[in-house]
Amino acid sequence: MAKKSPLCENPAELLRQLIRFDTTNPPGDERECILYINSLLKEAGIKTTLLGKTRQRQNLVARLKGAGTAAPLLLYGHVDVVTTEKQKWQQPPFAADIVDGFIWGRGALDMKSGVAWTCSRPWARCCTSLTPRAWPCRWC
């Protein structure tokens, strides 16, 4: 069983943290962001593996075992974002400001929000001590 993580209580804060990493592709240096997510998953007691051709472009694979009574579920996402060069933003693209109840920043809609959700759902299960039926779960 994974340990309780504070991020299951506030996945919006996880999204804000992810946005603050400038993972613009090119050049595609997601390393610090991936290491941050990796540390949170490990802190929650979830087994992780880093794979990739280069240290700057690694994939994170995490696995949370389920009860084994249903098919596995794969959740996936990416943390690289397209450039903000030559674009006018109402808010700084990597500040993750909250304005009128919305989180602003590059990746807020695609795909760092999806990664934040993907990570927070398994933790939410862990926080409620439920063993997911449809897992093992792998996300990368």
Domains and CATH numbers, the chain: 6-139 (3.40.630.10)
pLDDT, tens only, 81-91: 999 999 999 99
Q: Please, which pLDDT band fits residue 25 given cuts at 50, 70 and 90?
A: very high
Query: Is the confidence at residue 133, as pLDDT, over 90?
Result: no
HEC profile for 77-91? CCCCECCCCCCCCCC
- Please tell me what DSSP assigns to residue 31: H
Separation of CA 115 from chain center: 4
Provide CB contacts within 8 A for 49, sequence distance 6+.
60, 61, 62
